[in-house]
């Protein structure tokens, strides 16, 4: 009796998933045709969420799956640099996003995530509390930084309010990586 009930519930769930997927696929085609959009990796850092253009991300990986010594502190380094880590055989500098933004809320714990960046002068990874997901937002929706209230300072280039199309993960601040790195790694 209960086995049959579970079987019925899984069948129902699969049906709902398929229907949602179909609807999403149908929306995608229509939206893309209408306006240009940018995809962001939405990261949680303390109580705030920050959006990072997916184009600069190379890889997302958990902090705890790094080798034995996940982060080696570097004496005399800039304040934003947590330390050095070996990533895929390369030495990568790990920047704390909270440190880089000047937010005094501490480094991410062992269940945090690292976002390896590409296109930078030296190999860099950003340590965040969690990468929540990918948000595809129209460029028109993103408000200029003057309206963002300066949360994160000059490294913030815009604000995506909640309720905007594609911002299902809630509102977030859009980070300008180049400015962030200039500020963190002078």
Is 177 a binder of other proteins (CB under 8 A)? no
User: Who's near 146: CB < 8 A, 6+ residues apart?
Assistant: none
- Label residues 116-147 b or e (16+ Cβ within 10 Å = b): bbeebeebbbbbbbbbbeebbbbeebbeebee
Least distance (Å) between residue 117 CB and other proteins: 11
Taking the CA atoms of the chain, what radius of gyration do you get in angstroms?
19
Rounded Cα gap, residues 142 and 25, in angstroms: 23
Is 45 a binder of other proteins (CB under 8 A)? no
* Cα dist from 77 to 81, 84, 94, 104, whole Å: 6, 10, 11, 18
- By C-beta, is 3 or 24 nearer to other proteins? 24
Is 24 a binder of other proteins (CB under 8 A)? yes
Local structure of 111: helix, strand or coil? coil
Q: Which of 23, 55, 74, 162 binds other proteins (CB under 8 A)?
A: 55
Least distance (Å) between residue 39 CB and other proteins: 6
Is 31 a binder of other proteins (CB under 8 A)? no
Stretch that binds other proteins, among 59-67, 72-80, 148-156, 170-178 (CB under 8 A): 59-67
Is 103 a binder of other proteins (CB under 8 A)? no
- Residue 131 near residue 42 (C-beta atoms within 8 A): yes
Local structure of 48: helix, strand or coil? strand
Is 131 a binder of other proteins (CB under 8 A)? yes
Q: Which of 105, 134, 164, 185 binds other proteins (CB under 8 A)?
A: 134
Interface residue list for other proteins (CB under 8 A): 17, 21, 24-25, 28, 39, 41, 54-55, 57-62, 113, 131, 133-134
């Amino acid at each position: 009796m209960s086995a049959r009930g579970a079987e019925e519930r899984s069948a129902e769930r699969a049906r709902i998933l398929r229907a949602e997927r179909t609807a999403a696929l149908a929306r995608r085609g229509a939206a893309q045709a209408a306006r240009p959009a940018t995809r962001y990796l939405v990261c949680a850092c303390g109580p705030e969420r920050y959006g990072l253009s997916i184009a600069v991300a190379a890889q997302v990986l958990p902090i705890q799956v790094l080798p034995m010594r996940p982060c080696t502190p570097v004496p005399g380094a800039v304040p934003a640099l947590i330390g050095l880590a070996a990533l895929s055989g390369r030495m990568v500098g790990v920047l704390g996003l909270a440190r880089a933004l000047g937010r005094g809320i501490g480094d991410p714990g062992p269940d945090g995530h690292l976002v390896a960046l590409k296109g930078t002068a030296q190999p860099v990874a950003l340590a965040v509390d969690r990468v929540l997901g990918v948000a595809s937002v129209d460029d028109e929706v993103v408000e200029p930084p003057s309206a963002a209230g300066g949360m994160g300072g000059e490294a913030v280039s815009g604000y995506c309010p909640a309720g905007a199309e594609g911002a299902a993960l809630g509102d977030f601040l859009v980070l300008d990586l180049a400015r962030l790195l200039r500020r963190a790694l002078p």
